[in-house]
Amino acid sequence: MGELPIASEAQDELNALVRKVRAAFFVPPEGEEVLFELSQFTSALSPPFVEIAGAYRANIIGLLATISFPYTLAHAAALDRHYQRLSSAERIRSLKLLPKQGESSVDLTQRRDAAARETADHAMVQFLGSSEGRDAVIHDSISFLARSLGTASLSESANELVLQGLVLCWGAFEVLARDCFVALLNLRPTLAEQLLKDPVAKRRFELAKVSLETLAAHDFNLSKKMGVILAEQQDLSDIHSIKAVYEALFPADTKLRDAIGSTDLRVLSQRRNLVVHRRGIIDEVYIRATDPPQKAGEKLRLEPDELEKQIQSSARAAAEILKAVNE
């Protein structure tokens, strides 16, 4: 939902309202812009990475649907309002239809309803195809959302929804990073040696301490279970472990290194921890790690555009991980 182009006092007020609403509510991007990079090579992935990519895509699509629900609701309400206006007018106009010879009152009512519905549907298509119609729907949608911001509890709920989107975003990335790690080491168990030679990554694993019970659980054959064994020791649930493991596995992959080492991804991880472990209340640890504009003791506030930026950054990192493990 961008700003509207017509220069007028009324339009300036509407544009200001759009900015206010977009500062609180997530408006979904067109199509699958967020997953564009991932979609470019998904068809070239081999099993099991194609399944992992599919699960990640579903998680992100679900995330976008969840955090954009208030906008979706407002947009649907605006559409329904205009359709009902057109439908009511056509139902009145359909009363001019007279009964045909031998037609019952029930059949006449059904014919009138069908005629009104067909005409209203056509009028709605034309309405939405006009700039006037599109502007009217935008106006009604943002007015619906703006009114909700007047209630303190609903305004706070809007921020909570964005914060939960943050948690879902990190969760989708974390699951992909772990699943790719497990699948890769299951396919190429010799890569475990590369991990154990890396001075940073090796501190996260203890292959020398694999128990007899663990060996027995895998029929004393770890040739296709190395990823599972290592993931039991390190679940890759934090950005530092993900960086350490993938930089050790792919030391020459600069694109992967840059993607998983980005500031956006690091801040995403910090924000997720703050929401999950401290209900979003900012503390000194978070301040030292991210240098936020807010103060300690305040509730973390995040604009939807910032969340969208972090979804895009994590999606790029996910794409680079999939490229690396697939090759």
Q: What is the pLDDT of residues 281-299, one digit of tens each?
A: 999 999 999 999 999 999 9
Q: Is residue 48 in some structural domain?
A: no
Tell me if 312 sits within 8 A of 265, measured CB to CB.
no
Across 10-18, average pLDDT: 80
Q: Is residue 170 in some structural domain?
A: yes
Q: What range does the domain containing 97 cover?
A: 1-30+68-148
Residues 5 and 77 in one domain: yes
Q: What pLDDT, on the 0 to 100 scale, is given for residue 306?
A: 94
List CB contacts of 33: < 8 A, sequence separation 6 or more: none
Q: Is residue 56 in some structural domain?
A: no
Across 217-231, average pLDDT: 69
Residues 114 and 238 in one domain: no
Q: What pLDDT, on the 0 to 100 scale, is given for residue 33?
A: 81
Measure CA of the first residue to CA of the last residue in the chain; give whole Å: 39
Q: Is residue 38 in some structural domain?
A: no
Reported confidence tier of residue 220, pLDDT bands at 50, 70, 90: very low
pLDDT greater than 80 at residue 4: no
The predicted-structure confidence for 229-244, as pLDDT tens digits, reads as follows: 888 888 888 999 999 9
The predicted-structure confidence for 99-153, as pLDDT tens digits, reads as follows: 999 999 999 999 999 999 999 999 999 999 999 999 899 889 999 999 888 887 8
Q: Is residue 9 in some structural domain?
A: yes
| pTM assigned to the model | 0.85
Q: What CA–CA distances, in Å, run from 232 to 206, 225, 227, 237?
A: 10, 11, 9, 12
Q: Is residue 45 in some structural domain?
A: no
Q: What pLDDT, on the 0 to 100 scale, is given for residue 294?
A: 93
The CA-CA-CA angle for residues 29, 145, 85, to 5°, reads 95
Q: Is residue 133 in some structural domain?
A: yes
- The mean pLDDT of the chain is 89
pLDDT greater than 50 at residue 98: yes
Of 148, 170, 195, which residue sits at a domain end? 148
Residues 72 and 208 in one domain: no
Residues 315 and 170 in one domain: yes
Residues 165 and 263 in one domain: yes
Q: What pLDDT, on the 0 to 100 scale, is given for residue 214?
A: 55
Count of structural domains, the chain:
2
Residues 198 and 238 in one domain: yes
Of 118, 148, 178, which residue sits at a domain end? 148
Task: Return the closest-CA partner of residue 195 out of 227, 156, 149, 165.
Answer: 227
SS3 131: helix
Residues 164 and 131 in one domain: no
Q: Is residue 39 in some structural domain?
A: no
